[in-house]
Chains A and B, each alone.
Chain A
Amino acid sequence: MSSEPECHELEKVTIKFAGDSGDGMQLTGSMFSDESAVFGNDLATFPDYPAEIRAPAGTVAGVSGFQVQIGSVDVHTPGDTADALVAMNPAAFKANIRHIRKGATIVIDMDAWTEDELQKAEMEEDPLKTDLVSSYRIIQAPISAMTRETLKETTLDLKGKDRCKNMFALGIMFWLFNRPLQNTEKYLKKKFEKKPDIIDANVKVLRAGYTYAQTIELFSVNYKIRPAKIKKGVYRQISGNQAVALGIVAASQKADRDAFLGSYPITPASDILHELAKYKEFGVKVIQAEDEIGGICMAIGAAYAGDLAFTTTSGPGLSLKAEAIGLAVIAELPLVIVNVQRGGPSTGLPTKTEQSDLLQAMYGRHGECPLPVIAASTPGNCFEYTLKAAKIAVEYMTPVILLTDGYLGNGSEPWLIPDMDKYPPIESRVPKINKKPYMPYKRDQQTLAREWCVPGMPDLAHRIGGLEKDDRSGHVSYVPQNHEFMVRIRAEKVERVVELVPDQKLIGNKTGDLLVISWGGTFGSLLTAVTEMQAEGNKVSLAHINYLNPFPENLKKIINNFKQVVVCELNLGQLHCILQSQFHNTNFLKYNKIQGQPFMIGELKWHFASLLAGDDL
């Protein structure tokens, strides 16, 4: 029997599960996260998987990873470096070792640690035979063999047995971090409802892993992470893509119109399509279009006919939709375009995150073609920004681009379920029967929005289109002054959306040495870095922008109160470019990363400290 291990208490811990694409690491990571969420920890996750569905087994290209940070305190990021790593093969070890804290616990599957596997991972030297070992606590567990042994009396074939080995690794981690198993067992029972032998096998292996960790004396310590003190209420795990889908349903209810989605599969946005396709009972109409252009054009048709229309995509898809967005702008139809950004250009890094579509969202169309652009900043708030995008679209009769990214879309966090009764309605201006002839481009004095007049409304038949139209009547017009008037009024309409834009929030003091500006999915990293630096006594504040066009009205005032302003983005400086062109009197600095990976807290803090110290960067 083993002696009782020492139990250390931790505020936060980051765990990475890594293995071959076929090893089920995404599922393993999600199960660990769900169990922790139900236990009451705050957490943030980051799935990191290859673009190839099954890259050659055992290669570094085929490594799929899932990182999660859990804590008894607020957690805003999945963590910079992991405190524990599960590596199901040498390739997983090789791909991740750079991001593992010195002294961390590494659990490896000894059975996969063969000459052959080391070769596939292109490792010339076995790291276990080098000095590296002394820097980590490496647990060499015969995971595959133990899994087979556990299942020797079951009817599963060898392949089926091997498929359960991720549960063995999960069991080890559950013991190491003192997690209960109930929720996971419940989940397995639900997932494999119709395959009792699979449930049985998975549960057996999960428990075997747990017992193994408990029994062997390799672990002298295990860890406890108490529940976090988080706001009261009912929670669920949510990813950004799920939140967008739920936001679409919510917006349709708030607008009292059917939701319509025209969409073409694209990584990392497809989950929105999958999720929304489930909600038919809410009257949601989903068409998987033949291409990206078809997707948006169907949405435009649906908007024209009175549905609350959406199209969802990622960077390359947004490029393809550009012409059709112009049609929605000139026809003045409400439409929300959700762009889950990924690394570009071209096919780029389809499964990696980036913020490089901001300028495309703002300016990527021919002609004078402005539209409102907003960005979500956490997986959970993808929900409210979807609602907000729909509200702007309908109340201002304009297409709106909502930017999220792969990090938000795939990442998940515990989400305090909102009370929908507290959200305002989305109000459309519908024509009342008035005297003929009908004027489809007559505008509301305040918003400059036209009415949403849809086919089927009696006595209001009229024609619209992509040709420049006469103010009010909507008839085709080539009159020079009319074109200028219409271009200007469409632009002014977008500027007036500022009425729906709340004041920019500032985290920290109103004045100081350094203002950090960021936007979109980098919020968690920036918030953590800035608050840590504030706690260390630095005069740093953070303005994280969600409303990118138009900007919040008070943004200018905020900017003017700091000695230095730095714009941090996962691109070459796109928001920087917009800010510099709008606020000429400020000299904006920039800090950029273009690696398909989120910011690390450490690198941000190091950079801010250098700026504060006046280092020449």
Chain B
Amino acid sequence: MSTAEKITEEKKITRKDFMTDQAVRWCPGCGDYAVLVSVQNALAQLEKNKDDVVFVSGIGCSSRFPYYVDTYGFHTIHGRAVAVATGVKTANPKLDVWVISGDGDSLSIGGNHFIHAIRRNIGLKYLVFNNEIYGLTKGQYSPTTKQGAVTKSSPFGSLEQPFNPASLCIGAESSFYARVTDTNPKMMTEIFVAAAKHKGTAFIEILQNCVIFNNKTHEQITGKEFRDDNQLVLKHGEPMIFGQNKDKGIVLDKTELKVVRIGENGITEADVLKHDAHAESPNLAFMLSRFTLPQYPVPIGIIRQVDRPAYEEQLHAQIKHAKEKKKAVDLNQLLNSGDTWEVD
């Protein structure tokens, strides 16, 4: 064995293995860079074979993503990435299929494919970069833009009630919903790894900053001076405690979740609700999905993760079963099935 071969053999998979020679063309300061690095790190951590990984994207700034990851990649059309990815995963369930999309791509033009993929629970890692604006078309309001926001297409303020992607996901029977921020690469990597291991559709909403058209839209959540008080970092089985001094918590009061201060009114840590991401009922996850500032902190982390059969597994099981039941299937036999008659 030559030295070079030895080196190859012992080589550990690193982020570099997933980098391409293409120049990354996002605006300087764009949140997408951190997501790219975190995804590459997750793939390295998972020791993925790059030949078995596919990135499928739609249209939008984030959808350039596949060009920057050295795996198989398919940059498709606006809104349709998840439908194309459904075909890829169904055709070959052995592939790791990642969908890269944005708030316009998935929640507006591709809204239908988005809810139905989640409902089917097809085995996709589905990353939606939510910057609450259309970036590639230069600054129109999106379905997640805050009401009243002044954008190029809403010079007098947006009139529209935005979607809440988390509520929408949970309403669509999601088996995995997580929310992360582009300012926390460590957590992003962790959650991408967890998503990769999940069976079915793992949906991750990334609160991502568009430095040009909607700068600091998530500042109240991600800003250093706000994040401890405004983020509720959720971990399964752990109490829902947050705040700079870890002195605030969530309790269940009758049918509502409520923010309380630990140590006040006789409330102790033991009264604080523990996060149950695996609960079969989506009720807690749905209540958490409704948390918005300023009344509530914004939940970050895996909000829901439950076991539900993946679509492609079930389809292939049906095929396997049919093949076992009807042995020796032959095309000529099929054509000759049903009522036939012979003409001499």
Residues of A near any B CB (own CB < 8 A): 34, 37-38, 40, 183, 187, 227, 230-237, 246, 249-250, 253, 258, 260, 262, 279-285, 287, 289-291, 293-294, 297-307, 309, 323-324, 326-327, 331, 417-421, 454-467, 475-476
Chain B hits for A297, CB < 8 A: 76-77, 80, 83-84, 86-87, 113
**What are some 10 contacts across the A-B interface (CB < 8 A)?**
A234-B341, A235-B341, A260-B91, A289-B83, A294-B80, A301-B56, A302-B91, A304-B88, A304-B91, A420-B332
Task: Say yes or no: B91 contacts A285, CB within 8 Å.
Answer: yes
CB of A416 to closest CB in B, whole Å: 8
Task: Say yes or no: B339 contacts A38, CB within 8 Å.
Answer: yes
Chain B hits for A253, CB < 8 A: 331
**What CA separation (Å) do A283 and B50 show in the bound complex?**
27
Task: Say yes or no: B326 contacts A458, CB within 8 Å.
Answer: no
Task: Say yes or no: B339 contacts A455, CB within 8 Å.
Answer: no
Residue of A nearest to B114 (CB): A290
Task: Say yes or no: B87 contacts A236, CB within 8 Å.
Answer: no
Task: Say yes or no: A419 contacts B116, CB within 8 Å.
Answer: no
Task: Say yes or no: A301 contacts B66, CB within 8 Å.
Answer: no
Residue of A nearest to B109 (CB): A293
Task: Say yes or no: B112 contacts A290, CB within 8 Å.
Answer: yes
Chain B hits for A421, CB < 8 A: 332
Choose, from B154-162, B274-282, B317-325, the stretch at the interface: B317-325
B253: interface (CB < 8 Å): no
B335: interface (CB < 8 Å): yes
Asked whether A306 and B91 contact (CB < 8 A) given A289-B83, A297-B76, A455-B52, the answer is: yes
Residue of B nearest to A39 (CB): B341
Chain B hits for A466, CB < 8 A: 75-77
Which of A283, A291, A463 makes the CB contact (< 8 A) with B112?
A291
B54: interface (CB < 8 Å): yes
B139: interface (CB < 8 Å): no
Chain A hits for B89, CB < 8 A: 301, 305
Task: Say yes or no: A461 contacts B342, CB within 8 Å.
Answer: no
Task: Add 20 more A-B contacts to A236-B339, A289-B83, A299-B87 (CB < 8 A).
Answer: A234-B336, A235-B340, A250-B331, A260-B90, A279-B334, A282-B331, A285-B315, A287-B87, A290-B115, A294-B113, A298-B87, A305-B54, A327-B77, A455-B54, A456-B52, A462-B73, A464-B73, A465-B67, A466-B75, A475-B22
CB of A237 to closest CB in B, whole Å: 7
Residues of B in contact, count (CB < 8 Å): 56
Task: Say yes or no: A417 contacts B343, CB within 8 Å.
Answer: no
Please provide the 9 A-B residue pairs with the shortest distance between their CB atoms, ordered closest to farther. A301-B87, A465-B75, A297-B83, A280-B322, A463-B73, A305-B91, A298-B87, A455-B72, A290-B116
Task: Say yes or no: A301 contacts B319, CB within 8 Å.
Answer: no
**What CA separation (Å) do A327 and B58 show in the bound complex?**
12
CB of A512 to closest CB in B, whole Å: 34
Chain A hits for B74, CB < 8 A: 301, 304, 331, 463-465
Task: Say yes or no: B331 contacts A420, CB within 8 Å.
Answer: yes
**What CA separation (Å) do A475 and B73 show in the bound complex?**
12
Chain A hits for B262, CB < 8 A: none
Residue of B nearest to A252 (CB): B331
Which of B83, B90, B329 makes the CB contact (< 8 A) with A282?
B329
Task: Say yes or no: B51 contacts A260, CB within 8 Å.
Answer: no
B145: interface (CB < 8 Å): no
Task: Say yes or no: B84 contacts A237, CB within 8 Å.
Answer: no
Asked whether A467 and B75 contact (CB < 8 A) given A457-B51, A459-B51, the answer is: yes
Task: Say yes or no: B87 contacts A463, CB within 8 Å.
Answer: no
B11: interface (CB < 8 Å): no
**What CA separation (Å) do A367 and B95 show in the bound complex?**
32
**What CA separation (Å) do A327 and B113 show in the bound complex?**
17
Which of B95, B112, B116, B319 makes the CB contact (< 8 A) with A455?
B95
Task: Say yes or no: B112 contacts A294, CB within 8 Å.
Answer: yes
Chain B hits for A235, CB < 8 A: 340-343
Asked whether A420 and B335 contact (CB < 8 A) given A302-B87, A461-B70, the answer is: yes
Task: Say yes or no: A476 contacts B77, CB within 8 Å.
Answer: no
Asked whether A40 and B80 contact (CB < 8 A) given A298-B86, A455-B52, A461-B71, the answer is: no
**What CA separation (Å) do A467 and B342 show in the bound complex?**
55
**What CA separation (Å) do A415 and B283 show in the bound complex?**
57
Task: Say yes or no: A461 contacts B329, CB within 8 Å.
Answer: no
Task: Say yes or no: B335 contacts A455, CB within 8 Å.
Answer: no
B:112-131 near A, CB below 8 Å: 112-113, 115-116
Chain B hits for A300, CB < 8 A: 76, 84, 87
B94: interface (CB < 8 Å): yes
Chain B hits for A462, CB < 8 A: 72-73
Chain B hits for A306, CB < 8 A: 91-92
Task: Say yes or no: B88 contacts A302, CB within 8 Å.
Answer: yes
Residue of B nearest to A476 (CB): B67
**What CA separation (Å) do A28 and B53 show in the bound complex?**
54
Task: Say yes or no: A309 contacts B87, CB within 8 Å.
Answer: yes
CB of A473 to closest CB in B, whole Å: 11
CB of A227 to closest CB in B, whole Å: 8
Chain B hits for A289, CB < 8 A: 83, 116
CB of A257 to closest CB in B, whole Å: 9
Chain A hits for B113, CB < 8 A: 290, 293-294, 297
Chain B hits for A227, CB < 8 A: 343
Task: Say yes or no: B319 contacts A283, CB within 8 Å.
Answer: yes
Task: Say yes or no: B334 contacts A260, CB within 8 Å.
Answer: no
Task: Say yes or no: A287 contacts B319, CB within 8 Å.
Answer: no
Task: Say yes or no: A236 contacts B92, CB within 8 Å.
Answer: no
B85: interface (CB < 8 Å): yes
Task: Say yes or no: B343 contacts A260, CB within 8 Å.
Answer: no
Task: Say yes or no: A465 contacts B86, CB within 8 Å.
Answer: no
CB of A392 to closest CB in B, whole Å: 20
Chain B hits for A237, CB < 8 A: 338-339
Asked whether A232 and B343 contact (CB < 8 A) given A283-B319, A420-B332, A463-B66, the answer is: yes
CB of B114 to closest CB in A, whole Å: 10
Task: Say yes or no: A287 contacts B340, CB within 8 Å.
Answer: no
Asked whether A456 and B95 contact (CB < 8 A) given A260-B90, A298-B86, A461-B71, the answer is: yes
Chain A hits for B94, CB < 8 A: 456
**What CA separation (Å) do A300 and B81 show in the bound complex?**
11
Which of B52, B84, B91 makes the CB contact (< 8 A) with A258?
B91
Which of B72, B76, B85, B335 makes the CB contact (< 8 A) with A327?
B76
**What CA separation (Å) do A196 and B80 show in the bound complex?**
50
Task: Say yes or no: B51 contacts A236, CB within 8 Å.
Answer: no
Task: Say yes or no: B88 contacts A465, CB within 8 Å.
Answer: no
**What CA separation (Å) do A73 and B331 show in the bound complex?**
31
CB of A183 to closest CB in B, whole Å: 7
Chain A hits for B338, CB < 8 A: 236-237
Asked whether A294 and B83 contact (CB < 8 A) given A420-B331, A463-B72, the answer is: yes
B344: interface (CB < 8 Å): yes
Asked whether A285 and B67 contact (CB < 8 A) given A460-B51, A475-B22, the answer is: no
Chain B hits for A463, CB < 8 A: 20, 66-67, 72-75
Which of A234, A290, A305, A418 makes the CB contact (< 8 A) with B87?
A305
CB of A474 to closest CB in B, whole Å: 10
**What CA separation (Å) do A238 and B242 show in the bound complex?**
68
Residue of B nearest to A230 (CB): B343
Residue of B nearest to A333 (CB): B74
Residue of A nearest to B337 (CB): A236
**What CA separation (Å) do A293 and B111 show in the bound complex?**
12
Residue of B nearest to A305 (CB): B91
**What CA separation (Å) do A502 and B124 show in the bound complex?**
44
Chain B hits for A465, CB < 8 A: 66-67, 73-76
Task: Say yes or no: B322 contacts A455, CB within 8 Å.
Answer: no
Chain B hits for A324, CB < 8 A: 77, 80
Residue of A nearest to B69 (CB): A463
Which of A37, A249, A455, A475 makes the CB contact (< 8 A) with B331?
A249
Asked whether A37 and B80 contact (CB < 8 A) given A302-B91, A455-B92, the answer is: no
**What CA separation (Å) do A262 and B122 show in the bound complex?**
15
CB of A312 to closest CB in B, whole Å: 15
